[in-house]
Structure 1
């Protein structure tokens, strides 16, 4: 029997790219780590703009309703638009992650999409560190 693909919110493609073991709570972080590790196996995922596997342990989910749904729906729609994908597409994780990297992170679009996210400073620092390492490598060549 074929396992149904994981549902992943479009904006969680960015969150997983920058994930470093921090989160809203210990329970959420452990759950996010589990999902992060699962993504390393390159499963087929369904990219959605609604609640997903990661959302299940989020403290912003109260009685089955996300209390930041308008904000994160905007993030999802922008990620889908930048990646040229339709909601509900089934795609292998590595292919989706590559689109997010190329069309959002490397192109500098991340800040425009989710610069107001409470975790944005972590992402910004990682982008800055990556740019500095790239410049350093170019100088040593």
Structure 2
């Protein structure tokens, strides 16, 4: 998989920008974690990849066992996370930018300010990110 050379449009859920920072190969299933690892590596290798930031299922969700026909089983919770990231990073729903710019906004506006727990502290995976 190579996003840049396939000219693939990449949509990312806003809160996945935080998940990527703490990823360590744990997840809902082996297929999900393998897929997420590939996505993270590809985006890190192609920081100028254009991404569209939308609060909906994305390329990461495509391999998640909680994805039910394009809708997350925890839709209310993840929508809350997405809206918080959009608001704190001052990103508009559907905005496009480079992956590098998206990552920078998440780091500067949320993670570096110690706001991650406020955004998603009730997440099932908080025990991983909470070691920050």
TM-score for the superposition, normalised by structure 1: 0.85
- Structure 2: distance between partners of 1:44 and 1:82: 21
> Quick check: 1:81 aligned with 2:70?
no
Of residues 32, 37, 57, the one that matches 2:63 is 57
Structural RMSD (CA) = 1.4
Aligned residues: 126
Aligned residue number for residue 32 of structure 1: 36
Of residues 106, 111, 118, the one that matches 2:117 is 111
Give the match's secondary structure for 1:45.
strand
Unaligned runs of 5+ in 1: 128-141
Unaligned runs of 5+ in 2: none
Give the match's secondary structure for 1:99.
helix
Greater share of helix residues, 1 or 2?
1
Give the match's secondary structure for 1:7.
strand
| 90-99 or 59-68: bigger deviation | 59-68
> Quick check: 1:90 aligned with 2:96?
yes
TM-score for the superposition, normalised by structure 2: 0.90
